[in-house]
Amino acid sequence: AQTVTQSQPEMSVQEAETVTLSCTYDTSENNYYLFWYKQPPSRQMILVIRQEAYKQQNATENRFSVNFQKAAKSFSLKISDSQLGDTAMYFCAFMKHETEGKLTFGQGTILTVHP
Amino acid sequence: GAVVSQHPSRVICKSGTSVKIECRSLDFQATTMFWYRQFPKKSLMLMATSNEGSKATYEQGVEKDKFLINHASLTLSTLTVTSAHPEDSSFYICSARGGTGHQPQHFGDGTRLSIL
């Protein structure tokens, strides 16, 4: 079974600064996908970024980028130029490469961006 | 693209009532839909996985007679909480996935269920 660990229950950052959220996982699979989802106070789950394990290049989506270290089983999210709208709970998630697509979520990190 | 609509967004009802929550994929065909329960400031707990036209697969500890799931078409899944009691009060979220491989789950906006 897979496990996903987010060791930072809460984080805070000043507007316009950079913050990194940590995520580690444990799996015996070689081919899988990793995701970061954002859940703002409105409670909707929004896909922020995804990474395919067989790709060495780190994924980037505008101000969001990941540091994917496959050997270390680490998948951190970096948010640059933080904005007030980035305030949310962030979940790291793991998905095996299979047809069903079941996600294993981490515990979540509450990020607060201060003006 | 990849919009999932969940309805209703909020339900308040008396103990003993059955409540139905709908989850629709608006612009894609959802081969698989998932139902989650979430407590405040906690992670999502997967309740069940459903594939169109077949019975749902429930996670360990989830009562299938309590939480009835129907996935009648490629765009609609429903969760019915039967004879709801205050301990069933929670935030329920559905998600849908079209296809296989790297396709991610896309989530609905969730339903806040309050049982008095």
> Binning pLDDT at 50, 70 and 90, where does residue A99 land?
low
Tokens encoding B47: 């309740």
In angstroms, the CA B85 to CA B80 distance is: 13
Mean pLDDT of all residues belonging to chain A: 94
Q: What is the pLDDT of residue B72?
A: 82
Q: What is the pLDDT of residue B104?
A: 86
Question: Which residue is closest to A41 within chain B, CA to CA?
Answer: B41
Lowest mean pLDDT segment, chosen from A16-25, B87-96, B101-110: B101-110
DSSP per-residue codes, B36-88: EEE-TTS-EEEEEEEETTSPPEEPTT--TTTEEEEEEETTEEEEEETT--GGG
Q: What is the pLDDT of residue B34?
A: 95
Which residues are CB-neighbours of A62 under 8 A, at least 6 positions away?
A: none
B18, B32, B113 from B76: Cα distances, Å: 19, 10, 20
For chain B, report the end-to-end CA distance as a whole number of angstroms: 37
**Partner A contacted by B95 (CB < 8 A):** yes
CA–CA min distance B42, chain A (Å): 7
**Partner A contacted by B1 (CB < 8 A):** no
Q: What is the pLDDT of residue A1?
A: 80
Pairing type for strands B111-115 and B10-13 reads: parallel
Compute the average pLDDT of residues A45-62.
94
A32, A95, B52, B69, B79 from A36: Cα distances, Å: 14, 11, 27, 27, 26
Q: Which of A89, A102, A108 sits opposite B49 (nearest CB)?
A: A102
The predicted-structure confidence for B20-78, as pLDDT tens digits, reads as follows: 999 999 999 988 999 999 998 899 999 999 988 888 999 999 999 999 999 888 899 99
**Partner B contacted by A95 (CB < 8 A):** yes
Whether residues A107 and B42 touch (CB distance < 8 A) is answered with yes
Gyration radius from chain B CA atoms? 13
Cross-strand pairs, A111: A11, A88
In angstroms, the CA B10 to CA B15 distance is: 16
**Partner A contacted by B32 (CB < 8 A):** yes
Give the length of chain A: 115
CA–CA min distance B115, chain A (Å): 20
